[in-house]
Amino acid sequence: MTNEAQRPAARRRRKEARPQELTAAALSLFVEKGFAATRLDEVAARAGVSKGTLYLYFDSKEALFLAVIREGILPVLDEGRRMLAEHADDPVAALRAYIRGWWSMLGDTPYGGVPKLMMSEAQNFPEVANFYLTEVIQPGRALLQEIIERGVAGGVFRPVDSKLITHILMAPMLHLALWRHSFAACCQVPDMQADDYLDEYFRLLVHGLLVHDKEPNP
């Protein structure tokens, strides 16, 4: 039996990195084609291993799917909490940071396809959907809700239904990510400039569409 410590470091590193190489390949394909339409052959090929190797690390295709979803999303929440604390006294800045942060740390990374994937597959994998809802969506929305509620309490934001509004507020961000992994990926559409999109969105949030006689924050 080889002693763990005696094994060459390179190989040990490789072995430990394997599962993530596999889930990364699987993620990109699941997002691209959906779970059912993705063949494990392709996943293995994209990860540069043989099909059998997948089964050394994951019991089944479903287990692979679960691992894909589990992985790498939760750490982001901590970062979000940290940011929120930083801007505790300025709801507008916090909102801006939330939007920017969501995009740069999630939407614009390989994990940006997960919302599409989870929406597509929620009904096929109710337990996974529940897990994702509980562990990712709801905590993420709770952060946003807190920003909103602080703003309202501080008299900066209008009184709103803070639960409902989080759904509404998330939608344009999610849409940006969904669009990128659907129509933008297959049709000749002019690239949506994410930064411009998010800026425009932020202004919409803050001011609405109407022309106001007096600017609120001079």
Q: Which CB, 38 or 166, lies closer to DNA?
A: 38
| Shortest distance in whole angstroms from residue 19 CB to DNA | 9
Contacting residues for 41 by C-beta, under 8 A, at least 6 apart: 51
Distance, in Å, from the CA atom of 61 to the CA atom of 36, rounded to the nearest integer, reads 10
- With CB under 5 to 8 Å by kind, the binding choice for 214 among DNA, a copy of itself, none is a copy of itself
Q: Which does 122 bind (CB under 5 to 8 A by kind): a copy of itself, DNA, none?
A: a copy of itself
User: Of 68 and 95, which CB lies nearer to a copy of itself in the complex structure?
Assistant: 95
d(CA 38, CA 117): 12
Residue 71 DSSP SS3: coil
Binding of DNA at residue 8 (CB under 7 A)? Answer: yes
CA–CA gap between residue 81 and residue 51 (Å, rounded): 40
Instruction: Note whether 31 and 42 are within 8 A (CB).
Output: no
**Cα separation of 92 and 78, whole Å?**
20
Residues 29-88 that bind DNA (CB under 7 A): 37-41, 49-53, 55-56, 59-62
Min CB(47)–DNA separation in Å: 9
For DNA, the binding residues (CB under 7 A) are 1-2, 8, 10-11, 14-15, 18, 37-41, 49-53, 55-56, 59-62
